[in-house]
Structures are given as C-alpha cells and as structure tokens.
C-alpha cells in the first residue's frame, strides 16, 4: 500500500493528466498507481474522474471548449484502460443481467462506462448498447436478453427527455423488468415522475441500487413461482 504522500502525488498526477489532456501522464500515473499498490477503483474515481469534474468547471467558465474536452476524455480513457482490469472482482451475493446505454442524441459515455465497470466488477452480465442509442433498441435488447434491469444514461436536458418514452415502452412490453436512470441532469424526482424503478447519482450507488433491485425481482419471482427464461 502506498504511503499517503505518494498516494496524493499519484492521484494529483492522474487528475492533472486529465485536466491538461496529457494521455502519457495518465498512462504513467495509472501504472504508478498499480506499482504503488493503490486501489485501482480509488485511482479511477479520486484521480481520473476528479480531473473530469474540474474539466466540467473549465467548460462552464468557457476556458475549455469541445476540442479540449474531447482530448481530456481521451486522456481519461488512456488511464482507465490500464486501471480497469485491476478493479478486483467482488462477490456481493447477487449477480444480475443489465442492458445499459446512453440515450439517443447523447454521445456522453464516460459516466455510463463507469457504471458498466462497476457491474462488470460485481460479476453482472452486461449488455452495453453504447452511446446515442435509438430509444427502441433498449426495448428490443431487453426483450432479446430478458435482462433484470435496463440502465439509461443521459448527460443533457435535451436527451434525457427520451427516457420516459423508453420507460413507458419497456413497462408495456415487460412489467417484470426494472429500470434505473442516471446522469447529471436526472434526479430521484424525475425517476419517480417518469415511472423508473431506481436512480443513482454515481457509479458505486448505481451498483448498490442494482443489487437491491435484482434482489427484489428474485424474491418476487420466487413468490409468484415465475421461472426466468
Ligand atoms: C466530457 C464532456 C463532453 C465530451 C464527452 C466525451 C465522452 N466520451 O463522454 C464531448 C466533448 C464529446 C461533449 C460534447 C458535448 N457536450 Co458535454 N460535457 C462533458 C463534461 C465536461 C463532463 C461529463 C463527464 O464525463 N463527467 C464525468 C463522469 C464520470 O460523470 P457523469 O457523466 O456525471 O457520470 C456519473 C453520474 O452521472 C452517474 N451516471 C451516469 N450515467 C448513469 C446511468 C445510470 C443508470 C446511473 C444509475 C448513474 C449514471 O454515474 C457516473 C459515474 O459516477 C460535462 C460537464 C459536467 N459538469 O458534467 C459536459 C456537458 C454534459 N456537456 C454539455 C454540452 C452542452 C455538450 C455539447 C452539446 C457541446 C457542443 N456545443 O457541442 C456536446 C453534445 C454532444 C452530444 N450530442 O452528446 C453540457 C450539457 C448541458 C445540459 N444540461 O444539457 C454539460 C453539462 C456542460 C455544460 N455545463 O454546459 N461533452
């Protein structure tokens, strides 16, 4: 385990690597984190993601524009590629199947990919539709895979309005599947209003929520004596 000063230095390197869109610094920082025995999850969220939070502030202050942010995202992904395989598997007792994607009109996928990563780490089966996903594809993929959950991500107020449409269609076709939404403009209030079964503000809470939801579904199926396909 890294000492506190070394740990702080590595997390700063990862954070600044994203802010300064320096892919090499992110790759180096990621490798240093692993070599120093830092928890990969911590390096991702307290290093790389903390950097992207600052990038968001720079964008709002109009100091950064889309080209810079694209390079920041590339730098984040360069570090993530190295750290992700080292996020230890967890056995939390429940493993579900999830369809996940970012809704139509929205290409933001960093948050969605972090949520997916948490599901992978917990041993869930994940069907990732990617980003800018046509709304009907969520419905079709849920029916094809008979997944327990569908997770919808949106990062823009203009794209999140697709969510209630998907929720309505899935509920009409398969009321036995649960839907969770997330992404910066969404909220628990919107989830309730749109008839989603869950909401989480970040990736680790998304996993906690998902485990509760899958547990609930399993219990319900047992009570009704329903077999999953
Ligand atoms: C990176 C970024 C981009 C990158 C995306 C790269 C990529 N591969 O994702 C690029 C440059 C492509 C981009 C483009 C645009 N962007 Co942009 N972008 C951002 C930025 C700076 C960071 C987003 C991010 O990755 N955050 C880090 C991750 C880790 O956080 P997160 O996404 O919130 O995810 C966490 C939670 O929300 C949650 N979560 C996420 N999904 C889900 C799903 C479920 C089911 C659950 C439970 C939880 C969950 O868990 C995640 C991890 O903990 C934000 C600013 C901000 N403050 O958010 C703007 C922002 C989202 N973008 C914005 C805009 C306007 C645009 C553009 C229209 C700009 C333009 N003029 O072209 C385009 C849109 C293109 C499109 N059609 O989608 C606005 C949206 C405003 C709004 N409210 O509608 C923001 C908020 C900036 C701003 N303040 O104006 N952007």
Q: Which residue minimizes the CA distance to atom 7 of ligand 1?
A: 108
Rounded distance between C-alpha atoms, residue 68 and residue 53, angstroms: 14
Which of 135, 124, 56 is closest to 93 using CA atoms?
A: 124
At residue 229, the pLDDT reads: 55
CA of 100 to the centre of ligand 1 (A): 16
Give the tens place of pLDDT for each residue, 139-151. Answer: 999 999 999 999 9
* For the chain, percent of residues with pLDDT exceeding 70: 97
Q: Which residues contact 102 (CB under 8 A, 6 or more apart)?
A: 108, 109, 112, 130, 131, 132, 133, 152, 153, 154, 155, 159, 183
pLDDT of residue 228: 62
Q: Alpha helices of the chain — where are they, by DSSP H?
A: 4-19, 23-35, 40-42, 50-60, 66-83, 110-121, 135-145, 157-160, 163-173, 188-194, 203-224
Helix (H) or strand (E) holding 179: strand 178-182
Residue 88 has a pLDDT of 81
Q: Which of 178, 184, 208, 212 to mutate to test the pocket of ligand 1 (most atoms within 8 A of CB)?
A: 184
Q: Residue 114 Cα, ligand 1 centroid: separation in angstroms?
A: 13
Q: Reply yes or no on whether the pLDDT at 1 is more than 80.
A: no
Query: pLDDT, tens digit, for every residue of 46-73?
Result: 999 999 999 999 999 999 999 999 999 9
pLDDT of residue 222: 84
Is residue 21 predicted with pLDDT exceeding 70?
Answer: yes
104-151 pLDDT, tens digit each: 999 999 999 999 999 998 999 999 999 999 999 999 999 999 999 999
- Element (DSSP H or E) covering residue 198: strand 198-199
For tokens 């989830």, the residue is 191
What spacing in Å lies between the alpha carbon of 58 and ligand 1's midpoint?
13
Alpha carbons 130 and 164: distance in angstroms, whole number? 19
CA of 108 to the centre of ligand 1 (A): 5
Partners of residue 178 on adjacent β-strands: 149
Q: How confident is the model over 156-167, as a mean pLDDT?
A: 98
* Out of 144-148, 158-162, 177-181, 224-228, least confident range: 224-228
Measured in Å, residue 75 CA sits from the centre of ligand 1 at: 15
Domains of the chain, each with CATH number or no CATH: 4-86 (1.10.1240.10), 97-224 (3.40.50.280)
Mean pLDDT within 217-223:
87
Residue ranges around ligand 1 (CB below 6 Å): 49, 52, 55-56, 59-60, 66, 69-70, 73, 105-112, 114-115, 151-153, 155-158, 180-185, 200, 202-203, 206
Return the residue whose CA atom lies nearest to atom 55 of ligand 1.
56
Contact at 8 Å (CB) between 26 and 48?
A: yes
Q: What per-residue confidence (pLDDT) applies to 73?
A: 94
- The tens digit of pLDDT for each residue in 68-103 reads 999 999 999 999 999 999 998 787 788 899 999 999
């Amino acid at each position: 385990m890294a000492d506190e000063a070394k740990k702080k230095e590595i997390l700063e390197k990862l954070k600044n690597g994203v802010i300064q869109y320096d892919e090499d610094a992110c790759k180096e920082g990621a490798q240093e984190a692993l070599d120093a025995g830092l928890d990969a999850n911590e390096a991702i969220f307290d290093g790389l993601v903390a950097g992207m939070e600052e990038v968001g502030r720079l964008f709002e202050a109009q100091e950064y524009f889309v080209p810079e942010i694209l390079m920041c995202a590339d730098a984040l992904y360069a570090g993530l590629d190295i750290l992700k395989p080292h996020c230890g598997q967890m056995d939390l007792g429940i493993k579900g199947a999830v369809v996940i994607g970012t809704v139509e009109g929205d290409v933001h996928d960093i948050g969605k990919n972090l949520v997916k990563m948490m599901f992978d780490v917990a041993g869930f089966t994940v069907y990732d539709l990617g980003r800018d996903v046509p709304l009907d594809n969520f419905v079709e993929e849920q029916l094809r895979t008979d997944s327990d959950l569908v997770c919808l991500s949106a990062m823009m107020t203009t794209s999140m309005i697709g969510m209630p449409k998907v929720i309505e269609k899935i509920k009409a076709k398969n009321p036995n599947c649960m839907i969770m939404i997330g992404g910066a403009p969404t909220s628990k209030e919107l989830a309730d209003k749109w008839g989603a079964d869950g909401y989480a503000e970040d990736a680790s809470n998304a996993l906690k929520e998902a485990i509760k939801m899958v547990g609930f579904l399993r219990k319900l199926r047992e009570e009704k004596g329903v077999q999953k396909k």
